[in-house]
């Protein structure tokens, strides 16, 4: 099955600086790569996703890049703010005639230092 590795497990950045979280996946057939944000004690929520026919996607201060050849994708957060402090999860899945299984990475705890 799919295996998703996520690094780093913890990340601290000064407010206003950029943060980058990286993930690698094992199944070359995977074609959907979402990122979820989980604030302390809350449910995970989708913040951005990318499909394999696109190399980069941006939404205001967050962006995701995908390198299919190397089988890795990254989350970029610019101009970080205190509300960006949370655990971020990457995930991967492939279309499988309705039986898609979303495999998550182990998470990155991002702390924004004021």
Partner 1 sequence: NAGVTQTPKFQVLKTGQSMTLQCAQDMNHEYMSWYRQDPGMGLRLIHYSVGAGITDQGEVPNGYNVSRSTTEDFPLRLLSAAPSQTSVYFCASRIHRGDPGELFFGEGSRLTVL
Mark residues 21-60: x for contact with partner 1 by CB under 8 A, - for none: ----------xx-x-x-----xxxxx--x-----------
3-state secondary structure string, 36-103?
A: EEECCCCCCEEEEEEECCCCEEEECCEEEEEECCCCEEEEEECCCCHHHCEEEEEEEECCCCCCCCCE
Output 12 or 18, the one with its CB closest to partner 1. Answer: 12
Q: What does the alpha-carbon distance between residue 80 and residue 15 come to, in Å, rounded to a whole number? A: 5
When binding is defined by CB under 8 A, the residue of 39, 79, 101, 113 that contacts partner 1 is 101
Count of residues binding partner 1 (CB under 8 A)?
28
Rule CB under 8 A: which residues touch partner 1? 1, 6, 9, 31-32, 34, 36, 42-46, 49, 89, 93-95, 97-107
């Amino acid at each position: 099955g799919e295996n998703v590795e996520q690094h780093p497990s913890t990340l601290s950045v000064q407010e206003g600086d950029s943060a980058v979280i990286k993930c690698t996946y094992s199944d070359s057939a995977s074609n959907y790569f979402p990122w979820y944000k989980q604030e302390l004690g809350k449910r995970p929520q989708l913040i951005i996703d990318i499909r394999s026919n696109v190399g980069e996607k941006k939404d205001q201060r967050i962006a995701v890049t995908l390198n299919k050849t190397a089988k890795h994708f990254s989350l970029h957060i610019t101009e970080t703010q205190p509300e960006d402090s949370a655990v971020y999860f990457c995930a991967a899945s492939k279309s499988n005639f309705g039986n898609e299984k979303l495999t998550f990475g182990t998470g990155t705890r991002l702390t924004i230092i004021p």
